[in-house]
Amino acid sequence: MLKFIRSRLSWKVFLSYLAVIFVGAIVLATATNLSVPTTFDRHMAWMSAAMSSNASEGNVRAMEQELFSSYRAAVFEALSLATIAASIAGLVASYFISRQVVSPIQRMMTISLQVSEGQYEQRLNVSGRLEDDQLDELDRLALAFNQMTDKLEKTELMRGQLIGDVTHELRTPLTAIKGYMEGMRDGVIPTTPDTFQQIYLEAERLQGLVNDLQELSRVEAGAYQLNFELISPLTLVNSVIPQFQQQFTNKGVHLEINVEENLPDISVDKDRIQQVLTNLLGNALQYTPAGGTVIITALLDKDQIVFSIADTGIGISAEHLPFVFNRFYRTDKSRARASGGTGIGLTIAQALVKAHQGRIWVKSPGDEKGSTFFFSLPIEVKR
């Protein structure tokens, strides 16, 4: 009963029924009040004539029966007329009231067919005000439908962009390889170890892109199994440092580790979270110039562990922040491509963190002011 009371749509339907009943009762009472006197007077006139003709015979019993029959016929006739009038009024009222419920659903059906054909421009009207939370179930359904259509439209745009980006990313190393091979064939480029090394690097870049795309496809499709185990956050952080230590030293970037003591163990897939840390740490190193600093932090926040990788690098402007986890998205395409990034690492990291029921986000004061990537993991994953 409480659930019914809380439902605005249930109240609308309930009140619409009451409105139809109320209209029908009003019309029935009014029609009865107007028709009874007329029908009763007509039948009484007929009875008066009958009583006058039968009074001499003294048949009082028969006259009483005739009077009762006449009264019953008058009431039945009046109620019949009133019922017809009330039914017509009820049908009209039901039609207009039901249109308030049926019209939005029919509109949604029409737009759904358009969306299924790839037309994402149409939206449903929301009659309530979002800021006042005055939305019934139909308004909430319309709002959810509009949000779904927005996401489908964005997904379709991203799909087209993805095809273009993949085509471009594959074309670049293939063109370079083809150019080297044609130059070697025509004798323009010498067949030296340096030439073969350049071809090898382009092929390696191409293979890395294909591997990243394959990994992204598997991760987003959930086509892998997570092997959970208890491990300390400090162990996770320390496990990825050795592979970057020499790179930080060579580039002249200072690496700091700031992990709270006595942090509880967390249940994670060690390899997958190492992959997340590797992607974020490599991203920080890639965009931090010589003399900069990268700081890895882990701390306890209620029932979760929050990791962060902060750098003093090129930073991210506000308009780019919502899109940094999108496939192939680059805030500086020329710089990212020159440094060898594929633009997929952050997308993979996001998918892996979500698979652990965690959250990942980024903050940055702006260009040339550094950035900080955060991700949180629950201490206990609900399975």
Other Cβ atoms closer than 10 A to 134: 11
Kindly state the tokens that stand for 367.
Answer: 């260009």
Q: What is the mean pLDDT of the chain?
A: 78
Helix, strand or coil for residue 91? helix
Q: What is the pLDDT of residues 30-39, one digit of tens each?
A: 766 666 666 6
pLDDT higher than threshold 50 for residue 340 = no
The average pLDDT across 342-361 equals: 87
114 sits in which H/E element: helix 60-116
> Could you tell me the domains of the chain?
2-122 (no CATH), 155-221 (1.10.287.130), 228-378 (3.30.565.10)
Name the least confident of 124-133, 250-259, 301-310, 329-338: 329-338
pLDDT higher than threshold 90 for residue 359 = yes
Q: How far apart are CA 309 and CA 66, in angstroms?
A: 101
Number of residues in the chain: 383
> Are residues 134 and 143 in contact, defined by beta-carbon separation less than 8 angstroms?
no
Kindly state the tokens that stand for 83.
Answer: 């019922």
Query: Which residue(s) pair with 300 in the sheet?
Result: 305
pTM of the model: 0.56
Distance in angstroms between the alpha carbons of the first and the last residue of the chain: 33
Helix, strand or coil for residue 187? coil
| Location of structure tokens 């993805």 | 162
Q: What share of the chain is helix, strand, coil (3-state, %, to 5)?
A: 65, 10, 25
Residues sharing a CB contact under 8 Å with residue 177, sequence separation 6 or more, in sequence order: 199, 202, 203, 206
Query: Which residue(s) pair with 230 in the sheet?
Result: 267
pLDDT higher than threshold 60 for residue 2 = no
